[in-house]
Amino acid sequence: MEVCNENKRELDRQNEYIEKSRVYVTAFQVEHGRLPKACVVTFGCQMNARDSEKLTGILSKVGYELTDSEEEADFILYNTCTVRDNANQRVYGRLGHLNSLKKKKPHLKIALCGCMMQEQAVVEKIQKSYRFVDLIFGTHNLFRFAELLSAMLASEDMIVDIWEETDKIVENLPVKRKYSYKSGVNIMFGCNNFCSYCIVPYVRGRERSREPEEILEEIERLVEDGVVEVMLLGQNVNSYGKNLENPITFAELLRRVEKIEGLRRIRFMTSHPKDLSEELIEVMRQSPKICRHLHLPLQAGSDRILHAMNRRYTKAQYLALVDKIKHAIPDISITTDIIVGFPGETLADVEETIDVVRRVQFDNAFTFIYSPRTGTPAAAMEDQVPEEVVHEGFDKLLAVVQETAKERAALLQGKVMEVLVEEVNEQDPAFVTGRLSNNMLVHFKADRRLVGKLVMVVLDTCHGFYYTGRMVDWLSQTKHTRLGKMVDNQWLN
């Protein structure tokens, strides 16, 4: 109860700072004859995207008009990622452009937040080389953005507020969702796994789970607001609930979420293979709402490399887990992450990874070249792999990944499946783009008013990683709903 009261007090504090910042917005409007515009640019994962929705929610509540154009903006906020070095380099590269913008528009305010800002060396570099930045804050105190915004607007000096760690979870801040029909929902923060290549535990902190009642209440509010699909977010959702005063498993949380009336689809990520339980597999098998998609990072197929990565499973254990999942849920789509070029990895090790890809038949695999992250054990390891060896292994792996993924995708051709319409197609406004339960994209001709709706679509043509199709007529969709199984092509017009 004390934790709830503390969170409420913090929310009340932040609301006070929102009101204080409104004074600046009013003054700006009087001076410029318009509302100030804010642009939030997101780098990185789904959790960063969800954080950005909170940041834009606060900015909107303060009175800013939101824009996607940095050139139009009076306040620019970069929500950064630091999983790989190229993410950092992208931010540094774009900061030069922001400096030019600020010279043209001196009142422009610039802020940086997110995972990259949790690195001390990064903050020191920005303080030294990018003095035009007005505000820097990290991941742990994001809930204090309104307070930091108010301080920034009242000061001419750079404000830096980085917390090394926190045990706080403050939710229910204003949120500006990107989509009306789907939403991410944080169920936990941080990570305890300390994979030797990964900087996430250092920038996101230790695992902290939200109380299940808070999560359920948030999802219920989202459903009341028109959301039909939620994505439960955590660095390792399979560890959810272990650190709560009254522990609960992730599988049990899913059971409770599934009972929410009006919610049609449930997704989650990310799952660590070492923690994926038989209870979770059974809940997924029985559920009509949990999407038939599981992201299960492999990272490497060589036991020697897996041990060096501190992944805490073997190749055989991973394959056995996948077999168990596919036996229980035959129509499951499994995607994965793979790193090539980890210190000490040979082309023979890459062949072990390729063997796993062939045996599992991943529906897709996100392949990355190893990127040393300062402060992680792997960055200090000897035997860093020569670039030409890395690229040889990477190219060979990528070819197999693409081959197997296309084979998997082609298996759906001619079937009729449920699609959540997500947006008007970017190339042809007469078409819409939707997503299957297994996460595959489908493009088909339909009215834009169907965005946010679930419809049945014939998958006519496989294009490797997406389909084009046509929507089933209304009568066939009614039959599908009544029978609760896949419709046959003979029902189509």
Omega within 30 of 0 (cis) for the link into 367: no
Let me know: does 237 contact 270? Beta carbons within 8 Å.
yes
pLDDT, residue 407, reads 95
pLDDT at 491 over 80: no
Reported as a single tens digit per residue, the pLDDT across 87-106 is 899 999 999 999 999 999 99
pLDDT, residue 195, reads 97
Distance CA 396, CA 477 (A): 43
Beta bridge partners of 445: 431, 470
Q: Are strands 416-424 and 454-462 parallel, antiparallel or unpaired?
A: antiparallel
Reported as a single tens digit per residue, the pLDDT across 33-54 is 999 999 999 998 888 999 999 9
Give the sign of the dihedral formed by CA 171, CA 173, CA 177, CA 180: positive
Distance CA 80, CA 279 (A): 35
Q: Name the band, by pLDDT with cuts 50, 70 and 90, for residue 165.
A: confident
pLDDT at 355 over 90: yes
pLDDT, residue 83, reads 86
Reported as a single tens digit per residue, the pLDDT across 110-154 is 999 999 999 999 999 999 999 999 999 999 999 999 999 999 999
Hey, what amino acid is at 125?
K
Q: What pTM was estimated for this model as a whole?
A: 0.89
- Which region, left, alpha or beta, applies to residue 22 given φ > 0 means left and ψ of -120 to 50 means alpha? alpha
Mean pLDDT for the stretch of residues 299-324: 98
SS3 325: helix
Omega within 30 of 0 (cis) for the link into 270: yes
The overall average pLDDT reported for the chain is 93
Give 55's contacts (C-beta < 8 A, 6+ positions apart): 40, 77, 79, 113, 142, 145
Hey, what amino acid is at 453?
K
Of the candidates 237, 219, 236, 215, the residue with the CA atom closest to the CA atom of residue 227: 219
Give 160's DSSP letter. Answer: E
Element (DSSP H or E) covering residue 315: helix 315-328
Distance CA 321, CA 312 (A): 14
Q: Are strands 109-114 and 135-137 parallel, antiparallel or unpaired?
A: parallel
Let me know: does 4 contact 214? Beta carbons within 8 Å.
no
- Which region, left, alpha or beta, applies to residue 403 given φ > 0 means left and ψ of -120 to 50 means alpha? alpha
In sequence order, what E strands does 43-101 have? 65-66, 75-80
Give the sign of the dihedral formed by CA 402, CA 404, CA 407, CA 411: negative
Reported as a single tens digit per residue, the pLDDT across 442-454 is 999 999 999 999 9
pLDDT, residue 1, reads 47
Burial status of residue 168 (CB atoms within 10 A of its CB: 0-12, 13-18, 19 or more): middle
Reported as a single tens digit per residue, the pLDDT across 178-216 is 999 999 999 999 999 999 999 999 998 999 999 999 999
How far apart, in Å, are the Cα atoms of 114 and each of 140, 162, 329, 375? 9, 10, 37, 17
Distance CA 436, CA 183 (A): 16
Q: Residue 293: phi, psi to the nearest 5? A: -145, 130
Nearest 5°: the CA angle 364, 277, 48 is 55
Give me 290's structure tokens: 């949990």
pLDDT at 477 over 80: no
pLDDT, residue 2, reads 52
Mean pLDDT for the stretch of residues 403-423: 96
pLDDT at 353 over 70: yes
Reported as a single tens digit per residue, the pLDDT across 51-85 is 999 999 999 999 999 999 999 999 999 999 988 88
Of the candidates 159, 194, 148, the residue with the CA atom closest to the CA atom of residue 14: 148
pLDDT, residue 484, reads 38
Concatenate the DSSP letters of all residues of 268-311 into one string: EE---GGG--HHHHHHHHH-SSB-SEEE---B-S-HHHHHHHT-
Mean pLDDT for the stretch of residues 229-254: 96
Mean pLDDT for the stretch of residues 273-299: 97
pLDDT, residue 64, reads 98
